[in-house]
Chains A and B, each alone.
Chain A
Amino acid sequence: MSMPLEELNYIGLSEIPAMENSEKLASKGLNLKATELRLGLPGSESPERDNGLGVLKGFTSGAKRGFSDTINGDSGKWVFTGNGGSEVDLGKNGALFSPRSVNGSGSECTSLKEVVPLSPKAVHEKKPQISAVNGHGVAPAAKAQVVGWPPIRSFRKNSMAVNPPKSDEDAKLGSGCLYVKVSMDGAPYLRKVDLKTYSSYMELSSALEKMFSCFTIGQCGAHGVPLRDGMSESRLMDLLHGSEYVLTYEDKDDDWMLVGDVPWEMFTVSCKRMRIMKSSDAIGL
């Protein structure tokens, strides 16, 4: 069904029907394996892997990389820097996706198998498993949040957020997401931010600067070439810290307030939406 490609010499697989391609990919053996990207849990037993640590090769990183940058070799945890692809909250303990399986030591594996019997109550005995991963006894329940995972629609998330589940520890942890809309006077469309991914006004305002920077320089020019990041951010910062724009929010009582007056936690609970307003319109707030 797929047609032979004509001139795609990009990887030397041109003019070969798809079936042969797969054989080629497989037979290229070492060549491909050496350069292919891998991701996996350290110590996992896939026979095709090297010594257990996936290594990322083959692309150069820009300053703000998405996906994954470094592997924390000691604890065997993957460490992601924020921005770009998997936007992640590093606020809590910096470790993400604590892998459920453990570095290949035999004793830990057997203890896992014992700990998980096939009874309905199995789930409640999970705690030893989790603390085996977090050897240094860090409270495991503070989970880093990845955008869009688990895949639950906003409507459902927001409905559940209003009525939090009946569990004591959850109330303290502030689980869930809190998406609010942010509009900017003069911008053609608005953005959404998850207030739970920030822990202070500083973080929020720098994130908003990045999102809205291209609006303040007249939509990045006619041919879509934006100014370099540094320039646009500082220009927005000037605008925000200067007199042109102020950041405001609508609270649960439908009043518009200046952002920054109340403690951060109180703000996240009461903020329904935000608006980057021209200072001239914000008189009286």
Chain B
Amino acid sequence: YLSNTSTLSTKMAKSFPEEVLEHVFSFITSDSDRNAVSLVCKSWYEIERWCRKRVFVGNCYAVSPRILTRRFPEVRSVEIKGKPHFADFNLVPEGWGGCVYPWISAMAGAYPWLEEIRLKRMVVSDEALELISTSFCNFKVLVLSSCEGFSTDGLASIAANCRELRVLDLRESEVDDLSGHWLSHFPDTWTSLVSLNIACLGSEVSFSALERLVARSPNLRTLRLNRAVSLEKLHNLLCRAPQLVEFGTGAYSSELRPDVFSNLAGAFSGCKQLKGLSGFWDVVPAYLPAIYLTCSGLTSLNLSYATIQSPDLVKLVSQCHNLQRLWVLDYIEDIGLDALAASCKHLQELRVFPSDPYVVDPNVSLTERGLVAVSEGCPKLQSVLYFCRQMSNAALVAIARNRPNLVCFRLCIIEPRAPDYLTLEPLDAGFGAIVEHCKELRRLSLSGLLTDRVFEYIGTRGRKLEMLSIAFAGESDLGLHHVLSGCESLRKLEIRDCPFGDKALLANAAKLETMRSLWMSSCSVSFGACKLLGQKLPRLNVEVIDERGSPDSRPESCPVEKLYIYRTVAGPRVDMPPFVWTIDEDAALRV
């Protein structure tokens, strides 16, 4: 029977000309589907690899540039991620790695027709930017998300050389801001700009260059300015770009002048397609009404830098009946979240950031009640990031029951190990309810006082959980063991300051090969255990990051500072700084 079906499938495979299969494959865009296609048989693998146009590399060290370019010769779009997520919070020392240059260098040779590069948490040098600008004649899209290592000189190369550029998006990158002149390097003949995001830049760009650029870009849809662009100048830009869909202001403050206000209000009302607003640093509330006419069309509003109080926020948000995404500071308070729940029935994503995270006493009246209200009032809510100072199991249970459609739930109770403020119990039951009711939950961040029990709930009920972040939680290795032995879909696990050690890790070592990565810092994993893992599992890179000097200079039972384990087909890194050690198969310590 088996030999019959294999003959049949071979016959079928051979009966379709490659061009037909290629055409069929061109409709398959998701990476996982493409990967599945390539596993069907050798000829499908070959056809698929020759026509794959878009590649996503979730961990730049999981695969090498050479492996990529050898397997997929016709790539047009690449997305690569570098440092682990906790690098966002300064837990990964500078110099750890994630340098993009070797990738650019390999692709410069292999992909002369490359059009798109998207990087996240990578170190991008000016040399890399210059190489990009001169290697790909059809280059269209550059997105640098939380990257660093480059200056405005590198941006000048991109501006000067990329004639087909459509998207330049610097997201929250750290740029060495030498001057604003780089923008003037865009040639006057260049008119293909679609999206420009320079919100992260500190210094002033030449406004007249910006104005001329906007005026000659009929396809401009997204423009996010930096803080240095003053409010009085906004109407100049908006009037020249009434087709904008997303707009980010600069500092939203100015002396109160009626002419400035009416110019601005007029300009905003001229943008009939506006769906998203952001920016709003240094807001003067009197200027907020200038955007009221756009509110009913807005689907996305980022007020997370706007230091305005709850009444002004309520007035604004209550008019945004079509809002799907809101990022805001905790100045919105419970009262504001009540108003949000009443007005914004299409809300899908809410992020509430702390206005003053380093003070013990709350400076605003934002509690668990606000989140409960939104979970009740917003039936489409699926993604939450919420910073607050108190939480209760009862509130978490209510949220879970109200919103079983949650996909991403990240709660940060500012004080580590804070218990249920009503009962003083751990928050195990509350988070347990979240994983139990929210069956589609893919991402979860825990906080507050938590015992091993919460991990038992997560391990058994978090079946679709892909990313889990744990801090200051748990009591013993049992907690980690619950997670590693359960959580079938787990891809990324990041842990800090938890009493997890060798036992759970070694007992579940094989699990690590099914995940993208594991990060553990300030835990209790010994160097001996790391060596064992590195020896026994050659397809994992076990990196010990320790700024106290070589782990060999301490007893093997001594815990390491930080540990980063990830699966890879590229073998050990060759670009490690002195404070990173990796263990290879013969347990030699490799720096």
Contacts and interface: CB of A to CB of B under 8 A. Distances in A.
A189 B90 contact: no
Nearest to B576: A224
A46 B475 contact: yes
A175 B485 contact: no
Contact of A126 (B362, B369, B425, B550): B362
B361 A127 contact: yes
A267 to B, nearest CB: 20
A97 to B, nearest CB: 6
A279 interface: no
Contacts of B387: 150
A93 to B, nearest CB: 12
Contacts of B358: 143, 145, 173, 175-177
Interface stretch (B19-27, B68-76, B187-195, B507-515): B507-515
A97 B416 CA distance: 7
A236 interface: no
A211 B90 CA distance: 15
A173 B359 contact: yes
A60 B555 contact: yes
B477 interface: yes
A175 B359 contact: yes
Interface centre among B335, B553, B591 (most CB of A within 10 A): B591
Contacts of B452: 48
A41 interface: yes
Given A18-B485, A149-B416, A154-B90, A67 B508 contact: no
B344 to A, nearest CB: 20
Contact of B591 (A18, A145, A173, A224): A224
Contacts of A26: 478
A173 B357 CA distance: 13
A170 interface: yes
A80 B426 CA distance: 23
Q: By DSSP majority rule, is chain B's interface helix, strand, loop, or mixed?
A: loop
Nearest to B369: A120
Most A Cβ at <10 Å: residue of B172, B499, B508: B499
Contact of B89 (A101, A151, A166): A151
Contacts of A98: 360
A195 interface: no
A40 interface: yes
Interface in B490-518: 496-503, 506-511, 514
A124 B334 CA distance: 13
Interface residues of B, number: 108
B361 A141 contact: yes
Interface in B370-422: 387, 389-390, 412, 414-419, 421-422
Interface string B464-498: 00000001001111100110010010000000111
B211 interface: no
Contacts of A13: 503, 506-507
Interface string A59-73: 111101011000000
Interface stretch (A83-91, A198-206, A239-247, A258-266): A83-91
B526 interface: yes
B91 interface: yes
A211 to B, nearest CB: 8
Given A64-B548, A147-B90, 7 more contacts: A32-B478, A33-B476, A36-B477, A36-B501, A143-B360, A154-B90, A226-B549
B554 A226 contact: no
Contacts of B105: none
Interface in B544-591: 547-550, 552-555, 557-559, 561-562, 577-579, 581, 589-591
Interface in B111-147: 146
B348 interface: no
A58 interface: yes
B318 interface: no
A59 B578 contact: no
Q: Which of B86, B282, B524 has the most CB of A within 10 A?
A: B524
Contacts of B33: none
Contact of A25 (B488, B507, B559): B507
A120 B334 contact: yes
Contacts of A124: 362, 365
A226 B353 contact: no
B359 A37 contact: no
B415 A38 contact: no
B278 to A, nearest CB: 12
B95 interface: yes
Nearest to B581: A224
A166 B355 CA distance: 9
A19 interface: yes
A182 to B, nearest CB: 9
Interface in A204-258: 210-211, 214, 219-220, 223-226, 228-229
Contacts of B365: 120-121, 123-124
Contact of A148 (B91, B449, B503): B91
A7 interface: yes
Interface in A37-55: 37-41, 44-46, 48-49, 54
